[in-house]
Amino acid sequence: LLISLANEVYYTATEAECQLLVAEGLEMARRLGDDALLMEMCSSAFLAVWHPWTAVQRLSLADEAVELAQRLGDARGEAMALAQRAAVHGELGHVEDLERDLGEAHGLAVALQLTYARWFLDCMRLPWLAMRGELEEARSTLDGLLTLVDTIAVPHKHDAVGGLMLVLAIWGGLDDREDGVLDELVAAARVPIHMAATGFLVRLGRTDAARELFETSRPTLDDESWIAPLIWGFGAEVGLALGERGLAAAAYERLAPLRGGVLSAGSTIAMGPVDAFLAAGDGDATLAARHADDAVRLMQTWQIPLAEQWFLRQRDLHGF
């Protein structure tokens, strides 16, 4: 009940309040000595404490849930724990670990016909397929998500699908389904979308439309939820593209602690290294160049050539 309450008040309570509820709930679960209960509580607590700076805490929770599920022989619990661990490995830039957990979790999800787990995993996989240039498989994955969307009860599911369509659009060009999806997202999104929407317009080369949306909506960086890194990263990119240096500098300050990781919105919409957006947000040419070098190195290590090609064009354009 304590951990369920932490999840229910995630958007309205302070992080300290949620952390206290989680700590009390986990302490109770450990005292009861029920491994199946503790496994479920680790997975539930993972969601309740999801903020950009809690990745190490969430990795520990996911590790414990995986270990408990394997000890119990609970394949369903293992699939979900592996999916959560894959998400945090992605945030931290542990891409080999991400791929391993994705593969194992997907095998279990398919074998057990776990619809939500398949949804969660495919949302995570699609941006990586797109950045690697595996666009046909990425579009096939999107088709699968569109088939599943009406079979799951996830509040942000349509936002996620719309965001993934835009991810495909920026790496592989627009198709008929993706044309107009940005306007629909802005109108109906249940998450703060205006900064990200402005960023997508910039990335799609629609600078005039980006400026108009930015000036009419005046989006801010004031978010600390699971979607915050995407807002901050696009804040840096929008600030650079539109000459809003104050915005870019403020985004840099928020992003700096995430250096070396992956810019993403929760488990979805991975956009490449945080370092690429630090380069955009840093007004010091020398430091920006260092961030840019780190970003290129990570893109090569992670084998995401389309992201690297985009970023090299940005380096040429902006001189970092």
**pLDDT given for residue 245 in this prediction:** 93
Residue % of the chain over a pLDDT of 90: 81
Q: Count CB neighbours of 265 within 10 A.
A: 25
Instruction: Specify the pTM.
Output: 0.92
CA gap 276, 296 in Å, rounded: 8
**pLDDT given for residue 176 in this prediction:** 52
Question: What digits encode the pLDDT tens for the residues 240-293?
Answer: 999 999 999 999 999 999 999 999 999 989 999 999 999 998 878 899 999 999
**pLDDT given for residue 188 in this prediction:** 53
**pLDDT given for residue 114 in this prediction:** 95
Please give the average per-residue pLDDT across 21-37, as a whole number.
97
pLDDT confidence tier of residue 186, bands split at 50, 70 and 90: low
pLDDT confidence tier of residue 40, bands split at 50, 70 and 90: very high
Q: Within 13 Å and on the Cβ side, how many CA atoms surround 276?
A: 28
Structure tokens at 293: 């070098």
Question: What digits encode the pLDDT tens for the residues 192-225?
Answer: 678 988 998 999 888 999 999 999 999 999 999 9
Alpha helices in 9-94 (DSSP H): 15-32, 35-48, 55-72, 75-92
